[in-house]
A and B are shown apart, each in its own frame.
Chain A
Amino acid sequence: MSTQDAIKTTTPSDGVAVVSPSTDIDLSRSPDLRAALRRALDDGAKTLVVDLGDVEYMDSSGLATLVEIMRHAKSSGATMKLAALHEKVRAIFEIARLDQFFTIVPSVEDALNT
């Protein structure tokens, strides 16, 4: 399975996109995540949810991608939320002290309902 196949994007309602990677996000794979997130914003998403429930590993290239997309979202008037982080993935956000920079919610449902 290619990385692009492992990143699904759904649009549960107008202006809402949920991007769901199901692979480790490292230097070899973060470019595909960046492309998927940018595509969702370019397609008009005003609420962008990154569903990390199936991501068990992320390195700083993944963090850098999310910081970049967060800034892009803000500049285009969109909001971005991270949902369903595994403990191991949350740890890198805490180490980099980015857990307060992002809006992190327990589940995709929470992201869509708040």
Chain B
Amino acid sequence: MDESTPHIRLEIVSNPVYLSGARELINAIAKRVGFNDLECSKISLAVDEALCNIIRHGYDRAPDKPIWISIWPLEMTPEHRPAGGLRLIIEDEARQVSPEQMKGRELDDIRPGGLGVHIIQEIMDDVTYEQRPEIGMRLTLVKHAPEQSEPARVSESKPERSARADRPQRESHS
């Protein structure tokens, strides 16, 4: 299998009713690669928050726009022994914003909303926002499994290559 080919690729429309299905999938995969129940729930939460941001801010709640979630297991590597983990890429065709704008707000300011990016950054080990080449945004999320876990092996493919910000995972969704 080509390393750039996702092991799982999910396409959903930007309707909040499908958030629970996406969470269930992420939760199940995270569990399979060795995360405990609480970590699985947090990873699902991070993905949920990313999808909510796309739906609310990227697509202005339009319920029929595309969102793609690509998932790779992280294999054990010399850099991250002995744990594996997950790499996820979430892509859309929403309004583009500067990646520098994607920051969590100050938590001392207690008010409804604006917590999504902070939650994502708190949960995941690596969070990278990029503009896709022509339209939409790409969010790359990496979570390494804790060292004490013994992740189940889900692939016999070559060791995971780190995500490169300048290498499109997909040239076009059309």
Could you say which residues of chain A place their CB within 8 Å of the CB of B111?
67
What is the total number of residues of chain A having a CB less than 8 Å from a CB of chain B? Answer: 22
Q: Please tell me if B103 contacts chain A, counting CB pairs below 8 Å.
A: no
With both chains docked as a complex, state the minimum distance between the C-beta of A10 and any C-beta of chain B, in angstroms. Answer: 26
User: Which secondary structure characterizes the binding site on chain A?
Assistant: helix
Question: How far, in whole Å, are A83 and B44 apart by their CA atoms in the complex?
Answer: 23
B19 and A28 within 8 A (CB): yes
Q: Please tell me if A6 contacts chain B, counting CB pairs below 8 Å.
A: no
With both chains docked as a complex, state the minimum distance between the C-beta of A74 and any C-beta of chain B, in angstroms. Answer: 12
Q: Which of A14-22, A41-49, A87-95, A104-112 contacts B (4 or more CB under 8 A)?
A: A87-95
A27 and B112 within 8 A (CB): no
Could you say which residues of chain A place their CB within 8 Å of the CB of B49?
59-60
Report A58-96 CB contacts with B as 1/0, cut-off 8 Å.
Answer: 011101110110000000000000000001100110011
Q: Which of A57, A60, A101 contacts B115 (CB 8 A)?
A: A60
CB within 8 Å of A: which of B50-66?
52, 55-56
Question: How far, in whole Å, are A68 and B45 apart by their CA atoms in the complex?
Answer: 21
Question: How far, in whole Å, are A65 and B122 apart by their CA atoms in the complex?
Answer: 21
Report B104-147 CB contacts with A as 1/0, cut-off 8 Å.
Answer: 00010011110110110011000000000000000000000000
Q: Please tell me if A35 contacts chain B, counting CB pairs below 8 Å.
A: no
B42 and A60 within 8 A (CB): no
Question: How far, in whole Å, are A69 and B116 apart by their CA atoms in the complex?
Answer: 19
Question: How far, in whole Å, are A28 and B14 apart by their CA atoms in the complex?
Answer: 11
Could you say which residues of chain B place their CB within 8 Å of the CB of A68?
112
Could you say which residues of chain A place their CB within 8 Å of the CB of B19?
26-28, 59
B52 and A60 within 8 A (CB): yes
Question: How far, in whole Å, are A3 and B45 apart by their CA atoms in the complex?
Answer: 20
A27 and B55 within 8 A (CB): yes
A95 and B123 within 8 A (CB): yes
Interface CB pairs A-B, < 8 A, 18: A24-B20, A27-B19, A27-B56, A28-B16, A59-B48, A60-B113, A60-B115, A60-B119, A61-B52, A67-B110, A67-B112, A87-B38, A95-B119, A95-B122, A95-B123, A96-B118, A97-B107, A101-B110
Chain B interface (Cβ within 8 Å of chain A)?
A: 16-17, 19-20, 23, 37-38, 41-42, 44-45, 48-49, 52, 55-56, 107, 110-113, 115-116, 118-119, 122-123
